[in-house]
Amino acid sequence: MGSENNSQISHFILLGISKNPRLQAFLFVLFLDMYLVTMLGNLLIVLATISSSHLHTPMYFFLSNLSIVDACFTSTTVPKMLVNINTKSNIITYKNCIAQMHFFILFSGLEIFLLTLMAYDRYVAICHPLHYTTIMSSQLCLRMVLASWIMNTLHSITQSLMTLRLTFCTDLEIPHFFCELNQVVQSACSDTLPNDVVIYFAAVLWACCPLIGILYSYSKIFSSLRAISSLQGKYKAFSTCASHLLVVSLFYCTGLGVYLSSASTKNSQSTARASVMYSVVTPMLNPFIYSLRNKDIKRALRKILKGKL
């Protein structure tokens, strides 16, 4: 079977979520609406945290960064899918595919890291309230976010460079709506063992280790909550964690569900449809989860909306 060198590859073909032509108009309207809601919701969260001085705290600093990452995360995949549906063309150039894969890895990793930092922030706030302002200083928060960007940038560059070394066969169809790393690597006709090793090693470091950190933080939080005598005090303390815990559960359950099911099913397009949950739906729901359960955010949003009316 013949193969082509990377320099000769011009494009990949994204098979998308469905091949049914009757569904294309519906999918275009659905994902366009979801994308606009995602961008608007996350933009409002960022504006609320910037414009309200009482939201200039570590928790809302991490939240505003999460909103920025969510907006970028969705923008990595949805606009290209909308263009493909509108033009009735599933082609993505080789360079754009690698770029899309690079930024998807970057922003998905940042999502995980920021959720971990937010769990640590809640741990310090509940378990060490008297030392909270000292431990969670603005300098430390900035350094942790900067370190997250550096580590995930290096990770995404590594994965991209590892993919660039591969050669691809004439069949360049990717059964997904974006250039997902595993799907791109599986379409190669050269040896992918080094790529597989790096992918699985990174999965442990970038998914399992942060999850262990989140679970450890919440185990300490729940232990501290048991020490609080009053029921009202327990509710007040836990209410600050409820939104974050819901977001973590939604992101990890959908993300892990997709990758565990992809290992056991041969229907790759089913995996592509399931990927919509963590790559599109979760970033759209995050602003609602935080704003609906947070009085400070709702107060800041009302001020913004009243100022524009």
Q: Give 229-261 pLDDT, tens digit per residue.
A: 777 767 777 777 888 888 888 888 877 766 665
Q: Domain 11-308 classified CATH 1.20.1070.10?
A: yes
Question: How would DSSP label each residue in the chain?
Answer: --EE-GGG--EEEE--S---GGGHHHHHHHHHHHHHHHHHHHHHHHHHHHH-GGG-SHHHHHHHHHHHHHHHHHHTTHHHHHHHHHHT--EEEHHHHHHHHHHHHHHHHHHHHHHHHHHHHHHHHHHSGGGHHHHS-HHHHHHHHHHHHHHHHHHHHHHHHHHHT--EES--EESSSS--HHHHHHTBSS--HHHHHHHHHHHIIIIIHHHHHHHHHHHHHHHHHHH---HHHHHHHHHHHHHHHHHHHHHHHHHHHHHHHHHH-S-HHHHHHHHHIIIIIHHHHHHHHHHHT-HHHHHHHHHHHHHH-
Low-confidence ranges of the chain (pLDDT < 50): 1-7, 309
What's the pLDDT at 5?
44
Residue 207: what pLDDT?
83
- Using a pLDDT cut of 70, give the percent of the chain over it: 91
> Any idea where the domains of the chain sit in the sequence?
11-308
pLDDT value of residue 262: 56
